[in-house]
Amino acid sequence: MTQTTQNEFKIMFWGTRGSLATPDIQCGKAGGNTICVEVECGDHVIICDAGSGIRSLGGKIVSERKYKNINLLLSHAHYDHIEGIPFFAPMSSSEYCVDIRCGKLDGAENTFEVVGGFMRRPYFPVGPEIFMSKTKFHQLEENQSFDISPEIHVKTIPLVHPGGATAYRIEYDNKSFAYVTDTEHSAGETNYDIVEFIDGADLFIYDASLSDDELPEFEGFGHSTWQEGLRMAQSANVKRYFAFHHMPFRCDNALDEIEREINAQMPGSGVAREGYSLVL
């Protein structure tokens, strides 16, 4: 069993690919699984999004038998962020309690509908009723803050993405992790709500799907650029910034070059890769 140091605030990437799982050999270094980030806060585990990467994370949780209460925070319900939910092993066991939270999204009245709308025919053979875990669905209001424990505080803000999306800031042990994925900015315009939201964060990961040069081609798709993430990180005095949500066409060589450019301007920062972990 892996032991976590008391009060340790640890982040691990289980999926960093956006839009579509990408098992191509040219993408092996960064990984091909879609979005999933594990956050360990002492005796609590929080999971940000449930892309295909959550399957392996679920296997780890079950084998280690370390956590029985799991908090799953969904940024939104596009497939690359929820497709792993039916394959998350703790939800197939009555030993676990799983709290799922999501903000308001177009096309769903609440968080249960978000999951149930995906897990139904003809898209999936069975519905959420197959879950054996003690599963609770929580609907978040816009800009809502909440506590997962007396020591763990979570803040939210809405993002600019088709259908809606939510960013999360997790604060624990006088440190903070800002999870901001799937949002669009207009060229030359700064989203100061995000800058304020991430101010002073120890770690900031951001929707770096595109480059500044590519942004006009993808107008309306709801994504931003690695350069914009870097600009906001510097403006907000963030300690470390990692580009995230890599598009399927972004191979390892391209990501290596992006990382060199980020690290040159912000040492200790770079590109999120599957399997990489860090302690805040």
Q: Are 23 and 53 in contact (CB under 8 A)?
A: no
CA nearest neighbour of 140 among 161, 128, 157, 127: 157
Give the model confidence (pLDDT) of 244-258 as tens digits: 999 999 999 999 999
How would you write the pLDDT of the chain (280 residues) with one tens digit per residue?
Answer: 444 457 899 999 999 999 999 999 999 999 999 999 999 999 999 999 999 999 999 999 999 989 999 999 999 999 999 999 999 999 999 999 999 999 999 999 999 999 999 999 999 999 999 999 999 999 999 999 999 999 999 999 999 999 999 999 999 999 999 999 999 999 999 999 999 999 999 999 999 999 999 999 999 999 999 999 999 999 999 999 999 999 999 999 999 999 999 999 999 999 999 999 999 9
- Give the domain ranges of the chain: 9-279
CA angle 27, 30, 35 (to 5 degrees): 105
- What are the two backbone dihedrals, phi and then psi, of residue 83, each rounded to the nearest 5 degrees? -65, -20
- What are the two backbone dihedrals, phi and then psi, of residue 252, each rounded to the nearest 5 degrees? -60, -40
- pTM (2 decimals)? 0.96
pLDDT at 6: 72
* Helices 252-265, 226-235: inter-axial angle, 10-degree rounding: 20
Tokens of 277: 């972990």
Q: In terms of CATH, what superfamily is 9-279? A: Ribonuclease Z/Hydroxyacylglutathione hydrolase-like (3.60.15.10)
pLDDT at 40: 97
Residue 98's contacts (CB-CB under 8 Å, 6 or more residues apart) are: 70, 71, 72, 88, 90, 91, 131, 133, 134, 135, 136
